Structures are given as C-alpha cells and as structure tokens.
Structure 1
Amino acid sequence: MKFTIHQSSRSGGRPVNQDRVAYSYSKNAVLLALADGMGGHHHGEVAAQLAVKMLTGAFQQAAQPDLPDVVEFLQAEIMKLHEAIHQLAENRGLPETPKTTLVVGILQHNTLYCAHVGDSRLYHFRNGKRLFRTEDHSIVQLMLKQGKLDAKSMLQHPDRNKIYNCLGSELTPSIEISPPYPLEAGDQILLCSDGLWAQLSDERMQDILNSGLGIAHSVPSLLDAAERLGGKNMDNLSAIGVQWESKAEQPLTISTLEMSLAQSHTILGLAESAENSAAATAADLDEEDIERAIAEINAAIKRSRH
C-alpha cells in the first residue's frame, strides 16, 4: 500500500481554531478523520479533539493489519464517540454538551469507505473529475432535496450554516455511511471543513488538485485560495488530501511495504496559528478529562456485554 498525504488546519479569521484533523495507518489500511467543533456551542474544539483521538486510537487497536468489518467499525466507533462527548460533559458538569461534525474516510484493499455526520465533506476525484461527494446534513441541503430551494439560492440563504445532525447533540446522531467505492492509482481523496468548501467551487478544487505539483503543494494552495476569498472574518478551515498509489514518489509518500502486521502510526494535525486553540482549551479541559471520558465509555460498553 502506498499513498501521499498532507493535512493542515488554520484559524482563518477566528481567535480559536475548533477544527481537528488526523490520520492513522496500518500495513493494509488508512483512516482519515476531520472534525469541526461547532462554534455556536461551548468547547466545540474539545468535542472535535475527542473525535479524532478516539477514532485513531480505536483504529490502531482494530486494524491489525486490516479492519475485519469497516462499516461495523465506523458505526460502532462513531456512536461510542457521541456517548463519550456526553460523558465528558457530565464528568465536568458542563452547562452545555460540546458538539462537532465529523467526516471519516477509510482506505483499505483499494476501496474507499466513508462516514459523516454534519457538513464536513469528503470528495473523491479521478483524472480531474469528481466521482463522489458527501451530502451535507444541513437545513439548506434538506430544502434543496425537498424542492424548496435551488442550488444558487443555497449560497445566500440565512440558514446556510445551520445543520440538523451532529455529534454531542441531545438527539441520537444519524451516521451516514456511503457505499464503498473502488480506488485506482492516482485517485485523490479530500476531506475538508465548511470553512474551505464554502469558499471554493468543486471545479476550483479540481483545478488546484490537478496542478501537477502534488498533494503537499495542492492542499496548502486550497487553503490559501479559500483564505483570500473568505477575508478577515472567515471560519476555521481544514483539509486532508491523499493521492492513492501514485507512481511518482513525492516527499510525503508513505509506503507500508516494510511495516509489520502489528504496526500502526498516527499523526494528529496541529493548527497553523500562533494562538493555537489547544492553549485556550487547556484552561478549562485537558487531556486527562478526555482520557477519563474515553475510559469510562469503554468500561460501560464492556459491562453491557457481560
């Protein structure tokens, strides 16, 4: 298995970055995760951090070196994450449960699997054309499906930033798992938050990704282009880009040929900002809070099985 990957997250015009990105890989599988903590709710960045930390941890344990059932893994682990967010809020007596969107991609045996909750997106491109894009769990997307809006009106609608499905909500989230898609050498996978896709059309994304300079160049270029259009008050923006089985070796190309069956690696993304939101989070909630919530949820699940 060989792939080239680059991830990045920026604060945009906001004082705190509530986005989180991460990827993890074993000998035969790759997990990509992007969470966008919801800014209208307290501690959105904590919910997003918990999301990527739990998912990559679960992947490391389960992918040895494959995930036996990818769909079951996604369904179970995302629901466990939702419960852990509530556990975290209960442990700390928070007045409001933190909330986050989530999009996850898993690449295994030349197949792409995807799950999402909310309006963070996954795109699949081949030969400069978009094959697939997740459908937002947003008010305007729902109105479009119901014939109450056209695509052009969605861009200016006052509810364009409102979503009806997220992790940490009072309602049980609806986890949308897309059909598996076959991967071919050279395919490009892009995960991004709404801070990015709200500024760039699919066509513009395709143009930048197919500049011929590689993922290490095109992902920062996507963020640069979105920031120029978004201006000083724009949202946080994040992306993970992957080029699958590329023939040309690039600086960020990863080959798992020499990995042992039990090995795995995880890379958690850091925000590109002097005022990293981790510092803002640490004042209220720290890694011990997150670890405790994860442990308590895992213990509760084990008890329910006996």
Structure 2
Amino acid sequence: MKFTIFQNSRQGPRPYNQDRLAYSYSKDALLLVVADGMGGYRHGEVAAQLAVTTMTDAFQRLALPALANPAKFLTDHIQQVHDMIDQITQEREMLEAPRTTIVAAIVQRGILYCAHAGDSRLYHFRDGHLLYRTEDHSVVQSLYNRGMIDKSDMSTHPYRHKVYSCLGGDVPPKITLSDRQELLEGDTVLLCTDGVWGAISDDQIKHMLNGPSISDNVTILLDEAEAVSQERGDNMSAIGLQWGDKLHSNLAVSTITMPLGATTTIMNPITRPDHPASLDLSDDDIERTIAEIQQALRKSKRV
C-alpha cells in the first residue's frame, strides 16, 4: 500500500475538546477512526477515547497483516464500544452514560469499507467529484428522508445536530455499514466530525480537498471551519487520506517493506483544556478508566 494521510483536531470555541481520532496500519490494511464525544452528556470524551482506543487496539491484534473480514471487524468492534460504555456506566453507577458518535474506515486490497453511528461523516472524492458520503443518523436527515423538510432547511433547522443513534445511548446503536468502494490512484477520503461539515458546505469541502497536498488541504479546511465557528461552534476534527502516491510526495507512506506482524498507530494529540480542574475526569482519569475496562473485558474474553 502507498498513501498519504494527515489528521488534526481543533478545540474551537468550546471549553475543551471531546473529539478523538486516530489511524493505524499494517502491511496490508489501514484503519481510520473519528469519534465525537457528545457534549450534551457527561464524560463524552471518555466515550470518544474509548472508541478510538478500542478500535486501534483490536486492529493491531487482528490485522497481521490483513483482516479476515473488514466489514465484520467494523460492525463488531463498534458494537463492542457501545457495550463497554454500558459496562462502565453500570460499574461506576453513573447517572447517565457517556456518549459518542463514530465513523471508522478500513482500506484493504484497494477496497474502502466504512461503518458509522451518528453524524460524523466519511466523504470519498475522485478527480474533484464527490462519489460517496455517509448519511447522518440525525433527526434532520430523518425528517428530510420522510419529505417533511426541504434540503435547504437542513442546515438551519434547530434539530440539525440531534442524532438518533450513537454509542452509549439508552438503546442499541444503529450501525450503518456502507457499500464497499474501490479506491483508485489519487482518490481522497475524508473522515470528519460535525464541527467541520456543520461550518463548511459539501461543495466547499470538495474544492478545499482538491489541492495536491492532503496535509495542506485538511489544514485549510480546519482553518476555514474554525474561522466560521469563532463564537458558536464545535470541536473540529478531520482525517484526510490520499490514496496511492500519484504526486511522489515525501510524506507518502509505503508499507511494502513492513514486516508481516508489524503495525503503526498514530493518535492525534488531545487539546488540553485551559482549566482541567473544572472537568469531572482528568485526562489521566480517562486513560486509567479505559485501561481498567479493557483489562476486565480481556479476562472475560469479550475483547
């Protein structure tokens, strides 16, 4: 495999960042995952961190060097994140469960697999054209599908950021597995949270990602989203993937010489809050909580 990848996250006007994102790759497979901890519920950052940690840990164990069933890997482990959140909620007797959206993708043998729950999105572009975009699990999308509102109403509707499926909710999540997509040399894939697409239209995203450098393109995209969202915005996070090495970039990754049993995982650095004492859980508490849950699940052979 040859690809160029870039990820970043901005805190925006929120007091702290509840988004988490990461990618991991082996010789023959690549995982990308973005999770948006839901700010209307306590400890959304716990749920989001648990999501990316669980997905990347499982990938590192199973993609040696390829996954037996990429689609099943995505749906099984996204469901597992939900179950783990449910477990922590009960064990800690929390008043409400931490919640997060998730969008995750696997690229293996030139095929793109994607699954999501909530309104974090995946976009697939080719030659400046949008080939595919995931459909949000949102109230507004549901209203539009039923013909109750027009497309022009979706971006301004008061319920535009309300989702009906997430990890950690009161009901099992709706996990949508997208149709497989073939990747060709030069294709671009974007995974992002609603802080990005809520500020920038799909048409603008398409144009911003059409430049030669994926790192520059994603940086421009986040700069613009941040500028639009100076006062009333959300955290903004994105992973951009340029498939192949059409431009012979110095930043391109080649897995040709990787050992069969090796994996590489890159977690995006977390934006630290200015006043961490104001949060119920510190970053160390989050990491410790996740480690405890994963250890308990390994003992019960659920991981």
What's the TM-score bracket when you normalise by the shorter of the two chains? over 0.9
Partners of 2:99 and 2:258 in 1: CA distance: 36
Deviation, 1:19, is 0.3
Tell me if the contact between 1:6 and 1:240 (Cα under 8 Å) persists in the aligned partners.
Answer: yes
1:224 maps to 223
Written as runs of structure 1 = structure 2, the 5 A alignment for 1:106-145 is 106-145=106-145
Runs of 4+ with >6 A deviation: 276-279
Deviation, 1:275, is 3.5
Deviation, 1:170, is 1.3
Corresponding letter in the other structure for 1:146: R
2:148 maps to 148
Deviation, 1:30, is 0.4
Tell me if the contact between 1:17 and 1:277 (Cα under 8 Å) persists in the aligned partners.
Answer: no
Deviation, 1:246, is 2.2
Deviation, 1:279, is 9.7
Partners of 1:25 and 1:276 in 2: CA distance: 35
Written as runs of structure 1 = structure 2, the 5 A alignment for 1:221-300 is 221-272=220-271, 275=274, 280=279, 281-282=281-282, 285-300=285-300
Residues 78 and 302 of structure 1: is their aligned pair in 2 closer, same or farther, counting only changes over 3 Å?
closer
Residues 93 and 132 of structure 1: is their aligned pair in 2 closer, same or farther, counting only changes over 3 Å?
same
Deviation, 1:301, is 4.3
1:39 equivalenced with 2:35 (yes/no): no
Deviation, 1:274, is 6.4
Partners of 1:21 and 1:283 in 2: CA distance: 15
Runs of at least 5 residues in structure 1 that lack an aligned partner in the other structure:
none
2:193 maps to 193
Corresponding letter in the other structure for 1:98: P
2:49 maps to 49
Deviation, 1:284, is 8.0
1:183 maps to 183
TM-score by length of 2: 0.95
Q: Alignment partner of 1:285: what SS?
A: helix
Written as runs of structure 1 = structure 2, the 5 A alignment for 1:164-175 is 164-175=164-175
Tell me if the contact between 1:10 and 1:273 (Cα under 8 Å) persists in the aligned partners.
Answer: no
Partners of 1:209 and 1:155 in 2: CA distance: 21
Partners of 1:284 and 1:265 in 2: CA distance: 23
Partners of 1:244 and 1:275 in 2: CA distance: 37
Corresponding letter in the other structure for 1:56: T
Partners of 1:287 and 1:271 in 2: CA distance: 12
Residues 186 and 275 of structure 1: is their aligned pair in 2 closer, same or farther, counting only changes over 3 Å?
farther
Partners of 1:207 and 1:277 in 2: CA distance: 37
Tell me if the contact between 2:13 and 2:233 (Cα under 8 Å) persists in the aligned partners.
Answer: yes
Tell me if the contact between 1:11 and 1:271 (Cα under 8 Å) persists in the aligned partners.
Answer: no
**Considering only aligned residues, what root-mean-square deviation do their CA atoms show, in Å?**
1.9
Range moving further from structure 2, 103-112 or 223-232: 223-232
1:99 equivalenced with 2:99 (yes/no): yes
Residues 84 and 274 of structure 1: is their aligned pair in 2 closer, same or farther, counting only changes over 3 Å?
closer
Corresponding letter in the other structure for 1:158: P
Deviation, 1:89, is 2.0
How many percent of aligned residue pairs carry the same amino acid? 46
Q: Alignment partner of 2:292: what SS?
A: helix
Partners of 2:150 and 2:251 in 1: CA distance: 41
Deviation, 1:302, is 4.8
Q: Alignment partner of 1:287: what SS?
A: helix
Residues 271 and 284 of structure 1: is their aligned pair in 2 closer, same or farther, counting only changes over 3 Å?
closer
Residues 7 and 56 of structure 1: is their aligned pair in 2 closer, same or farther, counting only changes over 3 Å?
same
Runs of at least 5 residues in structure 2 that lack an aligned partner in the other structure:
none
Residues 152 and 295 of structure 1: is their aligned pair in 2 closer, same or farther, counting only changes over 3 Å?
same
Deviation, 1:207, is 1.1
Range moving further from structure 2, 246-255 or 141-150: 246-255
Corresponding letter in the other structure for 1:265: T
Deviation, 1:282, is 1.7
1:90 maps to 90
Corresponding letter in the other structure for 1:148: M
CA displacement, residues 71-114 of structure 1 (integer Å, 9 cap, x when unaligned): 11112111111111112222322211100000001111000000
Tell me if the contact between 1:19 and 1:35 (Cα under 8 Å) persists in the aligned partners.
Answer: yes
